[in-house]
Structure 1
Amino acid sequence: MTCRTDSLLTRHRPAPAESVSTPWPDPTYTRLVPGPAASPDLRARARESGSKVARRMLDQPLSRVGVLGAVVLLAATAAFGGLEEEAQDGPEVLAFDVPADVAPFELTVHRVVWTTDLPGQYLSEKDNRWIGVVATVRNTSDAGVLGSTLSDALTVQDVDGLIERPGENGVRATSTVVLADGSSLNPVQPGLTYEAAFLFEQDGDVPPPERVTVQVQRHTWRGGALDSTLSWRFPTTALRGELDARAAADDTAQDDA
C-alpha cells in the first residue's frame, strides 16, 4: 500500500545662530543673536514630561541650548512622542493562512502538527517525533533559491526537546519537504508554488507541544563583508506568532468521517 506524505500532514537639527561682529578688543569675539523659539508642540511635550530641565531649556531660544542641551531635551521628551518617528517596531504578528511577504519568498503557514510516522523521513531515534509546520511557499524572485535559504526563512522557538540546536533566529528545520511526494524542497524555483512541510525532530521523552512559536525571516540581496558575491543574506525576523499545534492524526480522522 502506498502512503503519501500529505496523508499525514493533509491541509485542512535647529537653524544656525546668526553671528554678528562687535568692536571689542578681541577681534575673534562674536556675539550670538538669539535664534527662533521652540515650537508649541515641543513645549507641550516638555510640560507633559514633568521635567523642569526641559521646561527651562525651552524658555531659551534654541540657538542658546547647544548640542548637549538638545540631547537632554530629547531624552526628557522622548517618552511623550519626542522620538516617535524613530521608534522601531518589533516583528509583526504571524497568523494561520495569512501570506507573509518575506523576500525572497511568500510564505503562508496553514497548520502546525506532529506525528511519529512520516513516510520517507527518518528520525534519529525511533521514539522521537516530527513537528511539522505546513506552509505554502512561493519564490518571488526571478531565479532559483537554495533550500538552505528557505530553511533560514522559517524557524521555531520555545519548543522543548528539539534535536537541532537553536541559532540566532531560532531553530531551523531538520528538513523541508514537498508534501506531495516527500522530496527535499531544494532548490525553490521561481514562479512555482509549493505546499511544503518544515520538519523539526523532537525527543520522544518530551511531550508534544500544544503551541509553537513560529518565526519567518526576510533576507536581503547583497554581498558580504568577506565575500562580495551577491546572494540572499542576513535573515531578519519579520513576523512571529504563537500557533496551536495538534496531532496529525486528527486530520486523518476528519477526512475519514
Structure 2
Amino acid sequence: MAESGGRPRRAGLGAPQLTLAGSAAGAVVLAVLAAGGFDPLEKPETDIAPLAAGETVDLGPFELTVDRLRVVDELPGISEGDDDTRVLALVATVEATGTATEYGALLSGSVALDGVPGVTADGDGSEPVPADAVHVMADGTRLDAVQPGLEYEVALVWEQDARADVPAEARLVLVGRTLRESSIDHTQEWLDPLPVAAGDLEVTAPPPSEDES
C-alpha cells in the first residue's frame, strides 16, 4: 500500500515489513466482533477507562487518539450516504505500536459504536458495532494497512439508517488486544479482544443545506 496520508514520525526504522502481522488471528477476531463476539459487560466496568475527545489510548497493536465524531458531509472519496443511509465518521489519529505492518481491518474492528439507533451489525443489535471501514482523511483512500513509523489521520465510518435521528452524542468503545503466542500455530498474534476504554462523544451534524433552511 502507498504511504498516502501517513506522516513520518521516526527516522531509522528501515523499510516496513511486507508480512502483515496477525493476519489469521485478525480475520478470526473481526468475524467474532462482527457477530457480536464481545460484550463490554464481560470486563468489569472499573477496568474500562473513561474516554473523551483528545485522549490517546493504547489498544495493543495501535495507539489511537480520538478527535471528533461527525456526520459525513465533505470527506473526499467517502460515501456521503443516500436517501436510505447516512454516514457517521470518527476522526482520529492512529499509529502502529510495533515494527510490523498491521491490517486496517484490525483497526476498524478495534473501534465500535454502542447503542446508536440505526447502526447495527448482524445479530439483534444489542452489541457494539465495529466500524465498517477506515479511510485516510487526506484523500479519502481506504486504509488497508497501517505501517510502522507513520502517523495517520483517519476517518472510521459507520452507516446509519436515515430513518433514525442523528444522535446528539454516541457511545464509543475501544477494544484492546494482547500480543501472545497463538495456541493454533504458536506464532505471536494480537489476541483476546476486550474493551479498554469507553465514553460518550458529541456528534456534529452538518449545517442545513439551503433547500432545508
2:205 equivalent to 1:228: no
Distance 1:156 1:170 in 2: 5
CA contact (8 A) 2:78 2:135 kept: no
Distance 2:168 2:158 in 1: 15
- The correspondence for 2:68, drawn from 89, 97, 111, is 111
Structure 1 residues 249 and 228: CA distance shift in structure 2, 3 A = farther
- The correspondence for 2:46, drawn from 79, 89, 94, is 89
Q: How does 1:1-257 map to 2 (within 5 A)?
A: 89-115=46-72, 118-122=75-79, 125-165=82-122, 170-249=128-207
CA contact (8 A) 1:169 1:236 kept: no
The structural deviation recorded for 1:226 is 3.6
SS of 1:97 mapped into structure 2: coil
Structure 1 residues 135 and 88: CA distance shift in structure 2, 3 A = closer
Distance 2:134 2:149 in 1: 19
Structure 1 unaligned segments of length 5 or more: list them: 1-86, 251-257
1:132 partner letter? A
Distance 2:127 2:91 in 1: 19
Distance 2:77 2:105 in 1: 20
For residues 137-173 of structure 1, the C-alpha deviation after alignment (integer angstroms, 9 at most, x for no partner) is: 1111111101121012211101010143479972111
TM-score (normalised: structure 2): 0.69
SS of 1:149 mapped into structure 2: helix
TM-score (normalised: structure 1): 0.58
User: Greater strand percent: which structure?
Assistant: 2
Please, what is the CA RMSD of the aligned residues? Answer: 2.6
CA contact (8 A) 1:117 1:129 kept: no
Distance 1:194 1:105 in 2: 11
State the partner residue of 1:32: none
Higher relative contact order (CA 8 A, sep 6+): 2
Distance 2:133 2:56 in 1: 22
Structure 1 residues 229 and 116: CA distance shift in structure 2, 3 A = same
The structural deviation recorded for 1:126 is 3.8
Equivalenced residue count is: 165
The structural deviation recorded for 1:221 is 1.5
CA contact (8 A) 1:116 1:129 kept: no
Structure 2 unaligned segments of length 5 or more: list them: 1-43, 209-213
Q: Larger radius of gyration, structure 1 or 2?
A: 1
Distance 2:80 2:121 in 1: 12
User: Greater helix percent: which structure?
Assistant: 1
For residues 191-231 of structure 1, the C-alpha deviation after alignment (integer angstroms, 9 at most, x for no partner) is: 11000011010001111111110011111112444443322
